[in-house]
Structure 1
Amino acid sequence: MKVLLLSMPDVVPIIIHEAAVHMPNHGIACVGGNIDPEHEVHLVDLIRKRRSVRRYLSRLMERLQPDLVGLSAMAWQYDTCIRIARLLKALRPETKIAIGGYHATLMHEEIATAPEARWIDFMIRGEGEEAFRRLVNGLAGCDDLAAIPSLSYKQGDAFVHNERAANLDLATLRLPIRDKRRLTWGYHMVNAKIEVLETSRGCTRACTFCSMKHMYGRSFRAYPLERVLDDLDDIYYRCRARWVFVSDDNFVLYPARVMELCEAIIARNYRGLHFCVQADCRTMASNEEMVAKMAEAGFCSVFLGIESGSAKNLKLAGKGDIVDASRRAVRMCHKYQMMVIGGLVFGFPPDDVDSIRETYEFFRDIDADAAYCQILTPYPKTGMRQQLLDEDLIVNKSDYKKYNGLWANVRTRHLSAEELHYQFWYQRQVVLGWWKPSPLMARQGRLWTSIWRFAFKPLLQWRHRRAMAKHGWRGLYLQEVEHWQQMNTFSDLEGYR
């Protein structure tokens, strides 16, 4: 069997420009790495081909002539996913199309009865490695589709949904694909080569806005230590990458495990290797020994789920009151020379103009290094979606293309969706202002922070002053909205709705 795995070209420029950070899609790399070796497998991250998606895929399909194409998509990428599925069927009708990822997992029943189902042959629900491996073998005549857990397949024009599989034993999984079977390259964080590592799956926290529990349940599983180190060896020695993004939902959930892993990394003596991770504020604030060991092992950037400076909003999100923990976590990270990217969420039901401004002021005052700001998104099947539906606060229930955290799909008790979207943008401009690299960031990224300070920032400030004189804040906002609207519009796919 010839298998092609594709990730979507859609991006979200929430921290910095959408071209400044491109990381490989780890999901399709893991699925591809676990397909049995007698099959021919190739991977493509379409984020690297977003300027010519149709032309690139047309040439690729002619060259590879795959028997099966797997598409992975989040909810906000699903529209693009279906257009690509239709294009692939037009290019090679005999090729089978399988979709997977969060959206297919959460919405498989709705997809099965929707008009676009005619372009889809299979759906993989939940973790894809074993189900997709068996699907490939089944199409090769070596397995029974009806016996494959987590697979949805067609009988005639209707989908049959097999029983959902139990969570996988991570110790059985092979390494993800990072070799020449990956047909796209150039993954980077600004000017440095970057790869993705997974050391665990799942989270036991109860955040109501998160869809992750629909993939794994409210659970946590860790890869065996030796498996993680083998993965790191592949990244460090064969790929020669020196930056690693750890994709775990909450890397620090169990501090004893983090300490053990850090000790092993230190013993491995990877020189110049840097890690970026995602962590919760409570654990980072209360485990100084762990944070110190992380810094010693090369962890230098931490994403913290701060979410809000309002205890009321945090309670609605299922986070608990972590306001003080957020302050202490930032201080702890800075004590050990770790940069902090703080996640903020706006658009909770009680939010008004003052609370939005106060959250930005809270973030400024705790001295985090960069902000990752999103508007509360009512992802399908989440607890938060139901809460918002109960209050009739969702204004966009079905256009999932705008479910990427950048758009206001909800209103609050005090703000319309349009005003929420504007205040989300405007208050950031006036409270946080122009990004100023902290001394820590300036030391760790001398080249790119210097380019920002002495080249890009002065130029952009000059352009901003001219634009402000001509358009004012509202005019600048409308220009930004127009850019966002065009960002994931792929003109060469327009005919494939």
Structure 2
Amino acid sequence: MKVILISMPDVVPVIIHETAVHFPNHGIASVGGNIDPEHDVYLIDLIRKRRSIKKYLTRQINRIKPDLIGLSAMAWQYDTCVKIAHLIKELRPEVRIVIGGYHATLMHEEIAGAEESLWIDFMIRGEGEEACRRLVNALDGRDDFADIASLSYKVDGKFVHNPRGGNLDLATLKPPIRDKRRLTWGYHIMYSKIEVLETSRGCTRSCNFCSMKHMYGRTFRTFPISRVLADLDDIYYNCKSRWAFICDDNMVLNPRRVMELCDAIIARNYKNLTLVVQADCISMATHEDMVKKMAEAGFKSVFLGIENGSKKNLNAAGKGDIVAASKKAIENCHKYGMMVIGGLIFGFPEDDEDSIRENYAFFKSIGADAAYCQILTPYPKTGMREQLLKDGFIANTDDLKKYNGLWANVRTKYLDADELQYQFWYQRQVVLGWWNPPTPVRERGRIWTGIWRFLFKPYLKLHYRRIMKKYGWRGRYQREVARWARMNHFKDLEGY
């Protein structure tokens, strides 16, 4: 059997995405790595082919002649996923198409009843490695669709949903297959080659804006440290990458295990290894010994879910009062030389112009090095969505293309969605201003930070000064909105 696994080209349109960061898709590499070796597997990560998609896929499909194509998509990528499925069926009607990922997991019943299900043959809900492995074998005549847990398949044109299987034993999973990518170039962070590593799955925190519990339940599982090290060896020695992003949902939930992993990495004696991770503030605040060990192992940057400076908004998000923990976590990270990227969320029901400005000011005061900001998004099947629907605060209930954290899909008691969108953008420009790389970042990337500080930033300041003179704040904002919208518009997929 020949199998192609495809991830979507849609991106979250942050200002410098195209030049700042492109991570490879780890999910399709992991699913592909667990398909039995007698089958041929190809990976196509469309994040690296965001133009001429139809032409590229036509060439690849005609060349490979696959029996099965898997498409992975989140809610805001699903529209593109359907268009690509339609294109594939037009090119090769006999090929079978399976979709997976968060959207298929959460919305399988809605997908099954929609018109676009015409282009979809199978759905996999939850973790995909074992179900996809068995699906390929079933198509090869060595298994039965009805016996495959978490699989949805068609009988007489209608979907049948098999019961969900339990969470996988991570010790049984094979490593991802990075060497099967058809697009091999351009994965980078600030001009340094980067790969993605997984050491655990799941999170036991209670954030009610998160849909993770529908994928794994409220559980936390870890890969064997020996397996993590073997995968890191592949990244370091075979892929020749000195940067690795750890894509775990919350790696630091078990501090003792983190320290054991760090000791094992230190013993490996990798030279110039840089690790990037996302973590929760409470663990990073209360376990300074863990933070110190992480720094010794090569962790240079951490994303912290700070979310908000308002205790009321934090409680609404199910986070609890983590303001003090956020400050302490940043202090611990800085003490051991780790850069902090702080996540902020805006658009809670009580938010107005003043509270948005105050939240940016709060972020500036606690000393994080960079901000990743989002607007509260009512993702399908989350507790937050249910509450916002009940209270009438969702302005966009069904255009999921805008469910990526950038667009305002909600209103507040004081701001409609359009004004919330504007204040989210405007207050950031006024309060946070231009990013100034902290000293540790400058030391690790003297060339690109120098280019940013002394070439790009002065040029952009001059450019925007001219725009401001001509259009003002509102005019500049409208130009930015138009640019964001263009980033996920794929002209050659129109009509599908």
Question: Shorter chain as normaliser: what TM range?
Answer: over 0.9
Q: Distance in 2 between matches of 1:16 and 1:205?
A: 31
SS at match of 1:333: helix
1:348 is matched with 348
* 1:325 aligned residue: 325
The residue number in structure 1 matching 2:472 is 472
Which residue is 1:223 aligned to?
223
Corresponding residue for residue 36 of structure 1: 36
Structure 1 partner of 2:79: 79
Match of 1:485 in 2: 485
For 2:43 and 2:183, how far apart are their aligned partners in 1?
6
Partner Cα distance (2:334, 2:15) in 1: 20
Residue in 1 that maps onto 2:106: 106
Contact 2:78 2:401 in 1 (8 A): yes
Aligned partners of 2:129, 2:491: CA distance in 1, in Å?
33
The whole-number CA distance in structure 1 between the counterparts of 2:158 and 2:242 is 48
The answer to whether the 8 A contact 1:15-1:372 is kept is no
Cα 1:183/1:450, change in 2 over 3 Å: closer
Instruction: Tell me by how many angstroms 1:20 deviates.
Output: 2.5
Match of 1:370 in 2: 370
Aligned equivalent of 2:297: 297
**2:287 paired residue number:** 287
Taking only aligned residues, the RMSD between alpha carbons, in angstroms, comes to 0.9
Instruction: Output the amino acid matched with 2:207.
Output: C
Cα separation, 2, equivalents of 1:294 and 1:16: 28
- Matched with 1:271 is 271
Residue in 1 aligned with 2:122? 122
1: CA distance, partners of 2:431 / 2:172 = 49
Identity of aligned residues (%): 71
Residue 145 of structure 1: aligned partner = 145
TM-score (norm 1): 0.99
Determine the C-alpha separation between the residues in 2 that align with 1:63 and 1:31: 22
The one-letter code matched in structure 2 to 1:3 is V
Return the letter of the residue paired with 1:126.
G
Q: State the shift of 1:15 in Å.
A: 6.4
Instruction: Name the CA distance, whole Å, in 2 between partners of 1:404 and 1:490.
Output: 17
Give how far 1:251 is off. Answer: 1.2
Q: Which string of whole-angstrom CA distances, capped at 9 and with x for unpartnered residues, describes residues 49-102 of structure 1?
A: 111111100100110010000000000000000000000000000000100000
- Does 1:169 find its partner at 2:169? yes
* Residue identity in the other structure for 1:28: I
The offset of 1:21, in angstroms, is 1.0
Q: Is the 8 A contact 2:203 2:220 kept in 1?
A: yes
Range 74-83 or range 182-191, more displaced: 182-191
Instruction: Write the letter of the residue equivalent to 2:342.
Output: G
SS at match of 1:179: helix
Give the unaligned 5+ runs of structure 1.
Answer: none
Cα displacement string for residues 311-359 of structure 1 (whole angstroms, at most 9, x for unaligned residues): 1000011111001111111111111000000000000111111110000
Give the conservation status (yes or no) of the 8 Å contact 1:14–1:373.
no
Aligned AA (2:217): G
Q: Deviations 1:334-391 (Å, cap 9, x if unpaired)?
A: 1100000000000011111111000000001111111000000000000000110110
What is the distance in 1 between the residues matched to 2:231 and 2:61? 30
Cα distance in structure 2, aligned partners of 1:16 and 1:330: 24
Partner Cα separation in structure 2 for residue 187 and residue 17 of structure 1: 12
| 2:236 counterpart of 1:236 | yes
User: Is the 1:41–1:181 Cα contact (8 Å) retained in structure 2?
Assistant: no
Preserved CA contact (<8 Å) 1:75 1:102: yes
- The alpha-carbon deviation at position 182 of structure 1 amounts to 4.5
Alpha-carbon distance between aligned partners in 1 of 2:14 and 2:492, rounded to the nearest angstrom: 25
Amino acid at match of 1:187: Y
| Residue equivalent to 2:133 | 133
Q: Which residue of 2 aligns with 1:413?
A: 413
Which amino acid in the other structure matches residue 341 of structure 2? I
Q: 1:404 corresponds to which letter in structure 2?
A: N
- 345-354 vs 179-188, greater mean Cα deviation: 179-188
Shift of 1:443: 1.6
Structure 2 counterparts to residues 16-35 of structure 1, below 5 A:
16-35=16-35
5+ unaligned residues in a row in structure 2: which ranges?
A: none
Q: Does the 8 Å CA contact 1:15/1:370 hold for their aligned counterparts?
A: no
| Aligned-partner residue type, residue 436 of structure 2 | K
Q: Structure 1: which amino acid aligns with 2:99?
A: I
Q: Deviations over 1:164-207 (max 9, x none)?
A: 00000000000001114544432111211100000000000000
Deviations for 1:230-264, whole angstroms, at most 9, x for unmatched residues?
Answer: 11111111111100000001111110010000000
Are the equivalent residues in 2 in contact too, given 1:98–1:123 (CA < 8 A)?
Answer: yes
Q: Distance in 1 between matches of 2:21 and 2:95?
A: 32
SS, match of residue 302 in structure 2? strand
2:454 counterpart SS class = helix
User: Cα deviations across residues 436-481 of structure 1 (Å, max 9, x unaligned)?
Assistant: 1122221222111111000000000001111111000000000000
With the length of structure 2 as denominator, give the TM-score of the two structures. Answer: 0.99
Query: In structure 2, do the counterparts of structure 1 residues 217 and 15 end up closer, same or farther at CA, with 3 Å as the change threshold?
Result: farther
Identify the residue that residue 68 of structure 2 maps to in structure 1: 68
Counterparts of 1:324-473 in structure 2, within 5 Å, are 324-473=324-473
Residue of structure 1 equivalent to 2:58: 58
User: Residue 259 of structure 2 corresponds to which residue in structure 1?
Assistant: 259
Q: How many residue pairs are counted as aligned between the two chains?
A: 496
Structure 1: how far apart are the matches of 2:419 and 2:368?
Answer: 27
Asked if the contact 1:300–1:338 (Cα under 8 Å) also holds between the matched residues in 2, the reply is: yes
Name the amino acid aligned to 2:206.
Answer: A
Distance in 2 (alpha carbons) for counterparts of 1:148 and 1:221: 23
Could you say if the C-alpha distance between residues 441 and 183 of structure 1 is closer, same or farther in structure 2, counting changes exceeding 3 Å?
closer
One-letter amino acid of the structure 2 residue matched with residue 99 of structure 1:
I
Over residues 387-412 of structure 1, what are the superposed CA-to-partner deviations in whole Å (9 max), with x where a residue is unaligned? 10110000111100000001000001
Contact 2:43 2:180 in 1 (8 A): no
Deviates further, 324-333 or 404-413: 324-333
Q: Distance in 2 between matches of 1:296 and 1:131?
A: 39
Are the aligned partners of 2:437 and 2:449 in contact in 1 as well (CA < 8 Å)?
A: yes
1:77-128 deviations in Å (ceiling 9; x for gaps)? 0000000000000000000010000000000000000000000000000000
Kept after mapping to 1: 8 A contact 2:45/2:181: no
The 8 Å contact of residues 44 and 184 in structure 1, kept in 2 or not, is answered as: no
C-alpha contact 2:76 2:402 (8 A) present in aligned 1 = yes
Code of the aligned partner of 1:367: G
